[in-house]
Every structure is written in structure tokens, then in C-alpha cells.
Structure 1
């Protein structure tokens, strides 16, 4: 990757949803971490679920909130069939306590219903309901992972704005990296993020993630500057190696940490949890 701006990256929105982060978790107990990506299909939800299981093994009380409103699939990854979802909470048909359920791996989840067009755009009502839900839940957990949608839509950017820390998931493919750059650029310029963390999924070789992070950082140094005058800092959090055990776990709708705990990808997720524990939660 050369240090030339990726001109085919999506344009950056200027809506209020992309403004400075609210970072609710910084003052309300739980550490709120958004897991997001520029492109769909990079394994973001898979990483969210397995990372939650790994953090739970550290003795932490963890919640994964499915923030991909309208296109949720956390229930599929975990083989859950919820009777109550976030949609029921928003419409008043069920309480928040009823909607939070335990997932395999010992962590809690709040699932969003899929295919709901009304949540594809950010309205003041959806915004307020989402904030209220998160403000209610954060005092009850040590860590809240927001499994957001992909891209830079209003809904995605609003979800990310609620987190104190952001994990960008990307794969080594050029389209994924281009879209990751676009997301990082928006988060740096619109949300005033000074640093973000990168997880490279499906890495072919050891060291790929650090090389990719360095290449993206060079582009950011040249083309993206925050209000402070400093370029956004992209921190390499870790790599998840390409591993056939991942596909098998996804097809079985099973957590990788439970189905193949000794696989390379499972061990890499455990290392991610260790690093998060040491750097973000200490």
C-alpha cells in the first residue's frame, strides 16, 4: 500500500451522529468498547462473540450488545433463538431485563431483531432509546462490547460514538483495507478520535497485521489530521490467523473457544483478551 489517499473510499458524512463520542462507559462503570469495520464480512461479529467468551474467562462480567440495528446476526453466530429482542424493548413490549440473556461462554447478550427497516436510519427516538438502554446496562457489567454494523452510516457512527474505545476489524484484502481507512478517517475527523485499535482477521502469516497497521499509519500520517494537529494513531491490537477451525465453528454456530480451544485462531483470540485486559481494563 502506497502512501496515497484511497480515493475510492466512501465520502465522510457530516451528520450529528458522527460528532464527538459520548463514551458512556467512561463514567458509568463498564468499559464500553465498539467492535466495528469498514466492510462487512470480515468476521466482526465472530470476533465480538469469542472475545466476550475470552474476557469472561478472566472473571469479568461481559455483555455483547448487538448494535447492528436492522441487520443483526449475533443470534446466528451463537445459535440463539431469542423470544425477546432489543426491538421489543424499544416498542415497550418487554422489559430490558427480559431481553438480556446468557450466551454460550458465560457472557450476556442483548440481541437486536433483523430485517427492521425502521432502524436503518437514525431518528431522535432510536438515538434516545439506545442511549437509555446503554446507560441502564453499563453499571451492571465490567465490559460492554458493541457489535456494530459495518461502514460509516449514521447508525454505525452513532453506535461507535457511545464507546470509549474502538476496535477496527479488517482482513488483508485491498477492499477491506480501503474501507477500514475510510472508517478510521471518519472516526478521526468527525468523532475526534486520537487513537484506534486494529485487529487483522484471516492473517496469512505472522507479522501481517503489524505490517498492515504500519502501512495504514503512513497513509493516515499524510492525509488525516485531527483538530489537535496530530495524526490519528492506529495501534495494532493483534491478528487472527486464517484457520479452517473458524469456518467449521461458524457453520456449527458454535463459539470457536469452545469447539476448538487449541486452534491457532482460538489462541489468538485469547491473546487479544489478554492484551485488552492489560491495556484497556487495568
Structure 2
């Protein structure tokens, strides 16, 4: 895997200037207030939105006020995962057709969501208007919740990188497949180089065996140690947050458009998400010294 990661074009070209002279990736934005976690991935189809939604449900069960903000502007599918049919989306807020408060709705599982519109080509690039509107939404909502999960798009587009830059922590979702791991490495490399991040957190979805995720994290860390140096001169640190096992109940819940934490809370994948929520709670959400 090390050779594949170090030699693929996706990994080597990750920090190249974007074609067309468009906006470049951003450094971490100033603190907004509230705990903000970006849930992202190097490629699509790895279960990022599934993790975002079910992690939100698990954190809600632990007593936290949780908001999931769909920041996959233009290709949103959080509404599909949650079986929601919103009348008002971020598109309506951005265009002034509706106030932000009307876009916040309750999701199954007891947490709040703000959904983005789907198929909106105008949100495929980070224009000054999109940047300003999205930042205003986050600044308004984040202080009202214990934690905000940003369900970002996949990859390293300027829209994805901007939404990730607004988060205090980054949770990268990957699967054991080589393409997923290669793209995860490329995304992590960009976060180190462009956003000056010192660490990111990794969740391995669809793990075949117990311990696979920790082994994968160790392999990725070895590649990062060789090729990615942070602003401090130290290697980018990859923190293993947990594995979600390959589990037929996941597909069943997705096809039913139900939260796994509600549909089959005793399944192996649901138990793993509960463990992930416990780790997020203890490492990121508890006051220092508690």
C-alpha cells in the first residue's frame, strides 16, 4: 500500500494549483464558537454521510445538542439518508427566500439538521457569496449546539476545503480499498500543507476484521512520516478513532432510509458507532480537566 500511495497521481498532485485560477484552498479559519467537526473523505462512496448521521444520533443519545450541517453544497444526500423532504434548504437561505431558523429541522434520532439543495451548479465553486453565506450560517448556529458535524463533500475541491477549514477537528472516513486509502492520503496531505493542520482523525468503515483499521492507520502514518511534514517540522499525526465493521444491517438501513442507530441498534456496526461517539465525547467534547 505504501508504494501505491506514494506513486499515485492523486497523492502527488494534491497540492498543485487549481486549474482556471480559481480560489485556492484555505488555512484554518478563525474560531467561530462551539465545537465543529468536519466529517470528510478523499473519495465518495465510503459512507461519510452514513457516519455523520449515525454519529449525530449516537452523540444525541449521550446527551449532547447536535447539529448536522450539510455542507456538500450542490450534491447533497443527507436528506436521502434521513428520509427527509425539506421545504427549505441552504439554497433558500443563501438566496434570501427564507430565514435561517426555518431551515433548521429535527431529524430522526433527535438531532437538528440543515440540509443543502441538490443539483445546484452554482455551488460547485467557492464564490465570495457562497463563502460569506456559509460562514454566516455557521457563525449563527454553532454557538447554539454542543457540537456541529459538517457533512462535507468528498475530495479536495475548493468548496470542500473551505468547509473543512471552518472546523476545529477533522474526521476522515475511509474504507480498506486501495483507491479510498490513496485518496484519503491525498486529502490529508492537502490539510497538512494548505490548512497547516497538525493532526486529523481517521475512521475506517467497512472493516473486514477487528484490528484492520488500526493496522491501516499505522500504514498510512508510515507514509505520512516519509512524505508529509507539518508547519512545525513534525509529521502529520493520524489519530485512529475506530472501525465500523462490514455489516449487512448497514445496507438494509440505508435502503430503508433509516438510521442504523434506530433500525438495528444492537448490530455490530451500530455498536461500533456508539463506541466512536463515546471516543468523540471523551476526547473532543468534555471540558479540559473533567
- Common fold, TM-score beyond 0.5? yes
Equivalenced residues, count: 279
Q: State the partner residue of 1:230.
A: 234
User: How far, CA to CA, are the matches of 2:16 and 2:112 in structure 1?
Assistant: 33
Cα displacement string for residues 194-216 of structure 1 (whole angstroms, at most 9, x for unaligned residues): 00000000000000000000000
User: How far, CA to CA, are the matches of 2:30 and 2:190 in structure 1?
Assistant: 16
Which is worse superposed, 12-21 or 126-135?
A: 12-21
User: How far, CA to CA, are the matches of 1:19 and 1:85 in structure 2?
Assistant: 25
Q: State the partner residue of 2:143.
A: 139
The gaps in structure 1 that reach 5 residues or longer are none
**Is the 2:229–2:235 Cα contact (8 Å) retained in structure 1?**
yes
1:2 Cα shift? 2.6
Aligned match of 2:274 in 270, 274, 277? Answer: 270
User: How far, CA to CA, are the matches of 1:193 and 1:155 in structure 2?
Assistant: 18
Aligned ranges 1:28-107 → 2 under 5 Å: 28=33, 30-107=34-111
Q: State the partner residue of 1:162.
A: 166
Q: TM-score, normalised by structure 1?
A: 0.97
Q: TM-score, normalised by structure 2?
A: 0.94
1:24 Cα shift? 3.5
**Is the 2:23–2:126 Cα contact (8 Å) retained in structure 1?**
no
**Is the 1:35–1:146 Cα contact (8 Å) retained in structure 2?**
yes
Aligned match of 2:115 in 106, 111, 114? Answer: 111
* Deviation beyond 4 Å, 4+ runs, structure 1: 13-17
RMSD over aligned Cα atoms: 1.2
**Is the 2:25–2:162 Cα contact (8 Å) retained in structure 1?**
yes
Q: State the partner residue of 1:9.
A: 10
Cα displacement string for residues 89-124 of structure 1 (whole angstroms, at most 9, x for unaligned residues): 000000000000000000000000000000000001
1:9 Cα shift? 1.4
User: How far, CA to CA, are the matches of 2:71 and 2:192 in structure 1?
Assistant: 21
User: How far, CA to CA, are the matches of 1:13 and 1:258 in structure 2?
Assistant: 43
The gaps in structure 2 that reach 5 residues or longer are none
1:132 Cα shift? 0.4
